[in-house]
C-alpha cells in the first residue's frame, strides 16, 4: 500500500466518480446505501452528505459518539476549501502531527487531516458538495464513501478500490 499508488488511485476516483446531476433524491439514495452497508456489516459510522450551502442527509449508527459530527464538520471544511478527498490530502501532506502547515492558515479547530471526506462532483461543473464518513479507520472511511458513489453511479467498485 504505497502512498503514491493510493494518491494516483484517489485522483482516478475523483475524476471518474462524477454525477450528471445531484439532488435531494440522490443524496438520500447515496446515504441510504451507506446506512444499509453499516447495518449489514455492523459498522459504527456517521454518514453526512451536504452541498456547499446545506445538509442533505445525516445518519449516525450505533458505536458512534458526539465526536463524530465534529470530525465530519472538519473533514467537510477541508473538502470545501481544497476540493480534494481528505484521505488524498492525508497522504500528500504526510504529516505526523496530522495538522496542516501554519502557512495554509487552516486552524485545527475547523480543519483536519483525516480521511473520509469525498467531493461530490457534477460533470461540466465541478465539486458541489461532500460525502463524509466518520467512525472507521480513515482509509476505510474513504473506501466506504467511494463504494457508495460507485454503486449510485452504477460503476464497478473493483475499478475504484484502493489496493490492499
What is the structure's pLDDT at 118?
A: 98
Q: What is the spatial distance between Cα 112 and Cα 76, in angstroms, rounded to a whole number?
A: 9
Q: Any idea which architecture 3-160 has in CATH? A: 2-Layer Sandwich (3.30)
pLDDT, one tens digit per residue, over 2-40 is 899 999 999 999 999 999 999 999 999 999 999 999 999
When the pLDDT of each residue in the chain is averaged and rounded to a whole number, the result is: 96
Please name the residue ranges forming H helices in the chain.
3-16, 24-41, 67-82, 86-93, 138-153
Q: How many residues does the chain have?
A: 164
Contact 157, 147 (CB under 8 A): yes
Angle formed by the axes of helices 3-16 and 86-93, nearest 10°: 150
Task: Look at residues 47, 57, 54 and name the one whose alpha carbon lies nearest to residue 26.
Answer: 57
pLDDT, one tens digit per residue, over 43-77 is 999 999 999 999 999 999 999 999 999 999 999 99
Beta-sheet pairing, 46-51 with 117-122: unpaired
DSSP-assigned states of every residue in 14-45: HHH-EES---HHHHHHHHHHHHHHHHHHT---
What is the structure's pLDDT at 34?
A: 98
Task: Look at residues 59, 45, 70 and name the one whose alpha carbon lies nearest to residue 137.
Answer: 45
Global pTM exceeds 0.75 = yes
Q: Is the pLDDT of residue 1 over 60?
A: no
Q: Is the pLDDT of residue 139 over 60?
A: yes
What is the structure's pLDDT at 95?
A: 86
Q: What is the spatial distance between Cα 122 and Cα 129, in angstroms, rounded to a whole number?
A: 9
DSSP 55: E
Q: Report the pLDDT averaged over residues 88-102.
A: 91
Q: Report the pLDDT averaged over residues 127-133.
A: 98
Confidence class of residue 99 from pLDDT cuts 50, 70 and 90?
confident
Q: What is the spatial distance between Cα 122 and Cα 101, in angstroms, rounded to a whole number?
A: 30
C-alpha grid cell for residue 13?
476516483
Amino acid at each position: 500500500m504505497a502512498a503514491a499508488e493510493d494518491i494516483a488511485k484517489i485522483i482516478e476516483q475523483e475524476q471518474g466518480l462524477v454525477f450528471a446531476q445531484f439532488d435531494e433524491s440522490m443524496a438520500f439514495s447515496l446515504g441510504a446505501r451507506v446506512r444499509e452497508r453499516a447495518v449489514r456489516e455492523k459498522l459504527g459510522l456517521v454518514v453526512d452528505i451536504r452541498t456547499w450551502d446545506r445538509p442533505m442527509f445525516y445518519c449516525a449508527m450505533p458505536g458512534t459518539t458526539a465526536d463524530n459530527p465534529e470530525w465530519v464538520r472538519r473533514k467537510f471544511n477541508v473538502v470545501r476549501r481544497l476540493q480534494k478527498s481528505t484521505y488524498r490530502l492525508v497522504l500528500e501532506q504526510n504529516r505526523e502531527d496530522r495538522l496542516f502547515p501554519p502557512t495554509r492558515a487552516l486552524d485545527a479547530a475547523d480543519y483536519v487531516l483525516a480521511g473520509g471526506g469525498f467531493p461530490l462532483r457534477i460533470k461540466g461543473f465541478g465539486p458541489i458538495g461532500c460525502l463524509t464518513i466518520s467512525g472507521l479507520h480513515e482509509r476505510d472511511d474513504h473506501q466506504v464513501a467511494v463504494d457508495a458513489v460507485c454503486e449510485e453511479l452504477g460503476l464497478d467498485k473493483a475499478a475504484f478500490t484502493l489496493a490492499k
